[in-house]
Structure formats: C-alpha cells, structure tokens
Amino acid sequence: MSDNTAKAREIAKKLLQDGTVAMVLGWEKGSEPYVSAPTVVRDAADVDRLVVDEYCIHDLAALLPDYRDHSDKIAIFAKGCDSRGIVRLIQDRVITRDRLYIIGINCPGMKDPNEFIRAASGLSKAKPADKAAKCLHCQYPNPVIYDEILGEAQKPGADQRLTEVDKIESMSADERYDFFIKEFSRCIRCYACRNACVACNCRTCIFDETKPQWVGRSTDPVNNLLYQIVRAMHVAGRCIECGECERACPVGIPLMLLNRKLIKDVDQLFGPYQAGLSLEDEAIPPLSRYRVDDPDEFM
Amino acid sequence: MKSFLQYLGIEPERYQLAWISGSEGQKFADIMTHVVDEIKKVGPNRKLREEHE
C-alpha cells in the first residue's frame, strides 16, 4: 500500500498547489502504527502527513456534512463504501458534486485498528483479523464515483450479507425480543453510531431535541432499543452498509442486524435497490421519492 | 415498519395501520373493534415497556 501513499501525496500536493482544491480529506498516522486517523490537509507543504494503508478504515464521507456551509472545494479519498456515502450526500443535497474532487481507492478490505489496540493492550487474547468485520461482506470494494483512482480493481466476495438476518428471522418472536433487548442493554448512548454514519446527516437530530423529547435518554434497555429502532428507520433505504456504526460502537452491539433487515425489506418491497450506487434519478432512495405506482407496503 | 417490529419480536397485531377518512365513522368503529379483538387474543404486552417499580 506504500505505493498508494506515495501516489496519494503526489495527487494531493498537485491539487493543493494549483489551487484546484482548498483542502484534502485523508488519513494520517495516529498514535500507534496500526491507527490511521482522518485528517485535513490545507497546505501543500503538509501532504507528507497523508497515508493510504490497510488501516484507513474510517469513512471520510461522514466528515463532509461538517463542511456543508463552506464554499471550499474539497479533495477526498474514497474507498468503495466511502464513495457510496458521497453519492448519498450529493443526493441529500448536503454537498454538490462540483465542490468535490474524489480520489478513489480500490479497496482490498481494511484491518480494524480497534482489534489491534485490544490485542496490544492485553484486553483481548484474540489475534486481530486480516480483514475488519465490516469489510467481510463488502460487495462494492471499488469506488462507484471518482475523478482519479488508486490501486488495482478488486473483486467482491460472495454475497452473504443477509445470513445473520435470516438466522434471526428463523427464531421465535420471544427469542428475537430477548436477544435484541439483551444486546441493547449494553448501549451507553454515546451516539458514536450516529456520529460515524453518513446517512445521519440531518442538521438537527431528533435525539438531541428535548422539546419535545421523542425518545427517553436514560440508558435502560427499552429506551436503548427504541433509540436504535428510530435510528434504523431513519436511515432505511439510505444506509450504504459501510458498517461504521457497528465498528464505532464501544460495546460491540450488532447494529448491522437492524440495518440489513431494513435493506432486505426495502430491496424486496421497492427493489431491486441498494443505496448510493449512482447519481441517476432512479437511484434516489425509494423512501425519499414520490411515485404514483408506489407499492405503499412499507407502513 | 410492521415487518421490522416483527423482526424485533413485537407481535404484528399490536401495530396496525389503516387509512380512514373523517366521514367514515362506521369504518373507524369496525377497525377499532377489530384491533381490540386482535390485541385481546395476544394478551398483555411485556415488550418495549419501561419498568416502573
């Protein structure tokens, strides 16, 4: 991947020097060798901070809403999942395509820095996996939208995204409820899942509102589950399956089980549909679009 | 929504949606009776309730 780092720096330097963009969103080396943290580079002299390696797991597209009120042109590095996030943000009018210079990265799958941190600190005996959990089911390793591209095109693995969902569906209603309540009882309501999410780009989030307060803020299992039900419904049809929510979760709640269920439903009721694949009108999320022949099934 | 609540283990009878116009009094009454009957069949709800002790 060091080859990609060199190319990434070269591209960033050129873009900043000739004034094509005012800033570059990329990754830099963090506190540990296995951490690559999101960073902003505004000066061509600083491009040597940038890296593109196997730990660049953060979805940079989730940072774009912070710049929605700026007018600066932004260069952004985008893996397959990030690029779908960018498409979604453009569709949601958070940012316009002409403000972006997208440097695509054909992504072989990333490693999860959290696993390495846990292993190094002795918190976990498990050996860190070669591929992060969120990358295992990736169907779009290659960017769907870009101005320039790094690396070799990758082949997606077998589509087994819904196996876990099917497993839950085969349980009885009471088993399912008890399973989810148990998982969500761990939630500490840190909202990391929301903050890491590209689909969560509302200016005012209903979970921050206190008048009226839509969902209870205490960390009891029921309010935690209600919070996640509402969040999952809000991103239904807009979730790009980047898996950032689940990765960001400090207590390891299997959040993608909720999102994938809704992806399955939206795909079956309105589909075939997957979010963030293209900028065409037809690719607008079914739940954000008016159609006379709407199947009206979602309620 | 119904399918999603079912997935979380909530009985589908508890969540029903119907489109009733302001002039359809009889339809409203019929549907309400139907909803109550269905819910009586499933019995008291223990799910998604805050515990008050």
Residue numbers of the domain that contains A46? 2-150
B4–A220 CB contact, under 8 Å: no
Tell me: ipTM over 0.85. no
My answer on whether A111 and A174 are in the same domain is no
Domain ranges of chain B: 2-42
In a domain, A28, yes or no: yes
My answer on whether A60 and A11 are in the same domain is yes
Q: Which residues of A touch B10 (CB under 8 A)?
A: 173, 177
Of the residues A95, A120, A150, the one at which a domain ends:
A150
In which band, very low, low, confident or very high, does the pLDDT at A223 lie, cut at 50, 70 and 90?
confident
My answer on whether A187 and A52 are in the same domain is no
B3–A220 CB contact, under 8 Å: no
Residue A156 has pLDDT above 60, yes or no: yes
Q: Which residues of B touch A176 (CB under 8 A)?
A: 7-9
Question: Do A168 and A179 form a contact (C-beta atoms < 8 A)?
Answer: yes
Residue B12 has pLDDT above 80, yes or no: yes
My answer on whether A21 and A141 are in the same domain is yes
In which band, very low, low, confident or very high, does the pLDDT at B33 lie, cut at 50, 70 and 90?
very high
My answer on whether A142 and A210 are in the same domain is no
My answer on whether A170 and A133 are in the same domain is no
My answer on whether A134 and A222 are in the same domain is no
My answer on whether A145 and A184 are in the same domain is no
My answer on whether A202 and A122 are in the same domain is no
Query: Best interface-test mutation with A: which of B8, B16, B48 has the largest number of A CBs within 10 A?
Result: B8
Residue A296 pLDDT: 65
In a domain, A293, yes or no: no
Count of structural domains, chain A = 2
In a domain, A294, yes or no: no
Q: pLDDT digits over A100-137, tens only?
A: 999 998 888 888 888 888 888 888 787 888 888 888 88
My answer on whether A131 and A167 are in the same domain is no
My answer on whether A138 and A207 are in the same domain is no
In which band, very low, low, confident or very high, does the pLDDT at A299 lie, cut at 50, 70 and 90?
low
Q: pLDDT digits over A224-265, tens only?
A: 888 998 899 888 888 988 889 999 998 989 999 888 888 888
Cα–Cα distance measured from residue A259 to residue A157, given in angstroms and rounded to the nearest whole number: 20
* CB neighbour burial string for A26-46, b if at least 16 within 10 angstroms, e if fewer: bbbbeeeebbbebbbbeebeb
Residue A91 pLDDT: 87
My answer on whether A235 and A107 are in the same domain is no
Kindly state the percentage of chain A with pLDDT values over 70. Answer: 97
Residue A34 has pLDDT above 80, yes or no: yes
Average pLDDT value for residue range A273-286: 76
Of the residues A83, A117, A150, the one at which a domain ends:
A150
Average pLDDT value for residue range A152-160: 78
Report which residue type is found at A125. K
Lowest mean pLDDT among A84-88, A97-101, A121-125: A121-125
In a domain, A177, yes or no: yes
In which band, very low, low, confident or very high, does the pLDDT at B50 lie, cut at 50, 70 and 90?
low
